[in-house]
Amino acid sequence: MLNSEKKSKSPYVRLSASDKANPEKYYHVVFLLRPDVSSGDAEDFFKRKILPIYTSFNGTIKNVEYWGLRNLAYRIKKYKKAHFYSMKTIAEPALNTELDRVFKISEACIRHIVIRTVDVNDGPSHMIMDMEADIKNGDTIFDDKYVIKMQ
């Protein structure tokens, strides 16, 4: 079997310049907001900064998840914790350039990544399913804010 014939089992793919048949691609966007950002400020950031980009570029946001205030593996811009958000989207590649620019100039966002995927499922991610299972089993490692959001 040639390298070009191999099928990847990973849902993530590399961006290729030759793939121009369909301008819309599937993306998974994960961004981290400063720990001192309130939930209202996070919603405001999303509504004022991210949504206008998707509407102007005719992109679609399939799913937005809040993964909670989590400890970081290492300090990022002097922060030990961050609010984790995940989005599954369908968009043109030009949209990601603008999204990257907005994330870089935003003071609230401390880190972000945009990954192209093969498809977008509307269901919850594995992170959310694991959190729900831990809550059902009586695990108390999550803060009350997350539990309230899950109910």
**Helix H or strand E encompassing 60:** strand 60-76
CA 69 to chain CA centroid, Å, is 14
CA pair distance 20, 62, nearest whole angstrom: 22
Q: Where are the domains of the chain?
A: 22-120
- Provide φ and ψ at 59, rounded to 5°: -90, 165
CA pair distance 115, 139, nearest whole angstrom: 31
Residue 66's pLDDT band, with cuts at 50, 70 and 90, is confident
Residues facing 32 on adjacent strands:
84, 111
Residue 151, pLDDT score: 33
Q: How confident is the model over 76-95, as pLDDT tens digits?
A: 999 999 999 988 888 888 89
CATH of domain 22-120: 3.30.70.60
Tell if the pTM clears 0.85, that is, is over it: no
- Dmax (CA) for the chain in angstroms is 53
Output 134 or 6, whichever has higher pLDDT.
Answer: 134
Residues facing 29 on adjacent strands:
87, 114
Is residue 75 pLDDT above 90, yes or no?
Answer: yes
